[in-house]
Amino acid sequence: MCGIIGYTGKEPALPLILGGLERLEYRGYDSAGVAIIEDGRLIVEKRVGKIRELVKSLWGKPYEGKTGIGHTRWATHGEPSTENAHPHTDEKREFAVVHNGIIENYLELRGELEREGVSFRSNTDTEVIAHLIAKSYRGDLLEAVLEVVKKLRGAFAFAVITVHEPGRIIGVKQGSPLVVGISEGENFLASDIPAILPYTRRVITLSDGEIADLTPEGVNIYDFNGNPITKDITIVPWDLISAEKAGFKHFMLKEIYEQPKAVGDTIRGLLSPAEELPFSLKEFRRVLVIACGTSYHAGLIGKSWIEKYTGVPTEVVYASEFRYGDFPVSEEDLIIGISQSGETIDTKFAINFAKDKGARTLAVVNVVGSSIDREADYTLHTHAGPEIGVAATKTFTAQLTALYFLAASNHGERDKLIAELMKMPARIEAVLEKAEDVERIAQKFMKKKDFLYLGRYLSYPIALEGALKLKEISYIHAEGYPAGEMKHGPIALIDENMPVVVVCPQDRVYDKTLSNVEEVRTRKGIVISVGFEGDERLEKVSREFISVPPVEEDFTPFVTVVPLQLLAYYIASRLGLDVDQPRNLAKTVTVE
């Protein structure tokens, strides 16, 4: 979940690395650091806190070195501190390493090194890499790295530089993401493409078990045995403009407003022959959907659509639970892994596990070329563009689009269903026009300590998603619950202080949900409802009523989720919180 960047070329490396780190900050932000090779020595600067703290500490220090590496950290081993921030160096400060992921056998390696007299400065797993490389170095950095990777276990990516070979960076990928950016007389290494987009759109995506050897003149790729590998260069289709805020206060708000486009682009993308699947869902005995967080919520809605349009029994499982459960998986199953980043390690491992059992695997991912995209047998891409805000918004509605498209494509009335889906961008647009109403409600209830979110059928996962959005960016406790389950426990929580957000479109469970609204009212709970325009029955029993345009039952999640995203956004923003980078979270979760 940390972010890595490296630069070697003709320009001073420092500003390029700091710029790249700012674009990677969404991956982790408890501390940051850089190492630059300057006049034959290593300059290492690290700070606890956000990248701006590191930038401040470097003001007035115009380092000119043309090779360097940088890191933004999301702590796993060792608390956030200057000692534990990356880069880490060997004892003589001749080698510097930045690392993302976990070295599982680091304690064993550290013990061996300490017995040999090496003294450690940090509590991290990363530091062992720097010492091991220094010990193995006999004049060729690549040789030393090849020797060391054989000793490391776990899922990781790292980059290393040395004063002995200024101009050279070696990058290693095994489990965590790493891309190489190619340019004229300069080359880059980064955890993610947006970090290097201002400088180049020519990218090599490394696969597990690959090593990149960068100098200003070129890039060579090897396997872990040192055999050269030929890789294709991809031209990244995004431009930087789409990764900037475009006048919005936060990326999250911009991304909420980009949903009509994300949904439209996803439909257009899926209609292209390149995305056509060579099988029907009806061939399978069962569909198993595996995902985490928001992607899991999309999966819950996808399940209902798949079962409705194909009749194939579908289960949805958290990837982290699937891996360690005893789920019987066979060739008769289709496994659908949903992941915005395409790098979530639990989802990735679950897909690999299912593949090993002979199941066919289908990924729904946003980041083209990500690990899950490459490892699944087939992929449906969500064309939402880069999502920078840590809380997922436009990628959620894009995932819904892909899942509906998939379910509908397996039904006799495919074209009619997809024509209905194509109306969603306009419907979402109409919801966004009511953003001011949601902002007013946010202001009224932003001081509340707990929220309950209720919904039934397709609105139940939307209740879960609304609660997740609120807790992750506003730090307010929120719980999503099936409305019908409320009387089995959560009803005890309801009193005059409890806002209860009820997702209540006019669908098959409308009357049932309305009865639940009455139960909340009877206990003096504050009902904030989301329902169809003109629904006077619902409006009358609600303290606050947020209207969305009426849509067919299948499509209600597209319109009901948007006010909940806005509610969470406006509460967090009015509380003055860091909406795009909430505490303790990271955009890409590459640890188990």
Residue from 173, 254, 348, 587 carrying the catalytic annotation: 587
For the bound state, the minimum distance from the C-beta of residue 462 to ligand F6R, rounded and expressed in Å, comes to: 14
Q: Is 587 a catalytic residue?
A: yes
Q: Is 292 a catalytic residue?
A: no
For the bound state, the minimum distance from the C-beta of residue 347 to ligand F6R, rounded and expressed in Å, comes to: 5
Query: Among 480, 458, 456, 485, which residue's Cα sits nearest to residue 468?
Result: 480
* Residue with the shortest CB distance to ligand F6R: 293
Nearer to ligand F6R, 28 or 216 (CB): 28
For the bound state, the minimum distance from the C-beta of residue 293 to ligand F6R, rounded and expressed in Å, comes to: 2
Nearer to ligand F6R, 72 or 347 (CB): 347
Burial class (CB in 10 A: 0-12, 13-18, 19+), 578: middle
Report the 3 state secondary structure along 365-389: ECCCCCHHHHHCCEEEECCCCCCCC
Nearer to ligand F6R, 144 or 473 (CB): 473
For the bound state, the minimum distance from the C-beta of residue 134 to ligand F6R, rounded and expressed in Å, comes to: 35
Terminal-residue alpha carbon distance, the chain: 10
For the bound state, the minimum distance from the C-beta of residue 99 to ligand F6R, rounded and expressed in Å, comes to: 21
Nearer to ligand F6R, 292 or 306 (CB): 292
The SS3 of residue 252 is helix
Nearer to ligand F6R, 354 or 391 (CB): 391
DSSP 152: -
Nearer to ligand F6R, 309 or 453 (CB): 453
Measured from the Cβ of residue 121, the count of other Cβ atoms closer than 10 Å reads 13
Measured from the Cβ of residue 493, the count of other Cβ atoms closer than 10 Å reads 15
DSSP 274: G
- In angstroms, the CA 148 to CA 150 distance is 5
CA atoms within 13 A on the CB side of 460: 18
Q: Tokens in use for 426?
A: 């306009």
CA atoms within 13 A on the CB side of 374: 10
For the bound state, the minimum distance from the C-beta of residue 294 to ligand F6R, rounded and expressed in Å, comes to: 3
Residues that bind ligand F6R (CB under 6 A): 292-295, 339-341, 344, 347, 391-392, 468, 472, 589
DSSP secondary structure of 458-490: THHHHHHHHHHHHHHHH--EEEEEEGGGGGGTG
For the bound state, the minimum distance from the C-beta of residue 363 to ligand F6R, rounded and expressed in Å, comes to: 10
For the bound state, the minimum distance from the C-beta of residue 171 to ligand F6R, rounded and expressed in Å, comes to: 22
CB–CB of 90/134 below 8 Å? yes
584: alpha, beta or left? (left if phi > 0; alpha if psi -120 to 50) = left
**Which residues, 6 or more positions from 522, have their beta carbon under 8 angstroms from its beta carbon?**
none
What residues pair up with 182 in beta bridges, in sequence order?
187
For the bound state, the minimum distance from the C-beta of residue 340 to ligand F6R, rounded and expressed in Å, comes to: 3
State phi, psi for 464 to the nearest 5 degrees. Answer: -60, -45
For the bound state, the minimum distance from the C-beta of residue 586 to ligand F6R, rounded and expressed in Å, comes to: 8
CB–CB of 351/334 below 8 Å? no
**Which residues, 6 or more positions from 140, have their beta carbon under 8 angstroms from its beta carbon?**
none
Nearer to ligand F6R, 161 or 256 (CB): 256
CA dihedral 188, 191, 195, 196 (to 10 degrees): 30
- In angstroms, the CA 284 to CA 222 distance is 39
- In angstroms, the CA 369 to CA 385 distance is 13
Q: Tokens in use for 216?
A: 């200003």
CB–CB of 163/123 below 8 Å? no
Nearer to ligand F6R, 290 or 517 (CB): 290
Nearer to ligand F6R, 19 or 342 (CB): 342
Cα–Cα distances in Å, from 344 out to 25, 108, 168, 275, 378? 17, 27, 30, 22, 17
Query: Among 463, 523, 457, which residue's Cα sits nearest to residue 487?
Result: 523
Nearer to ligand F6R, 393 or 516 (CB): 393
- Is beta strand 169-174 parallel, antiparallel or unpaired with respect to 210-215? antiparallel
Instruction: List the catalytic residues.
Output: 2, 587
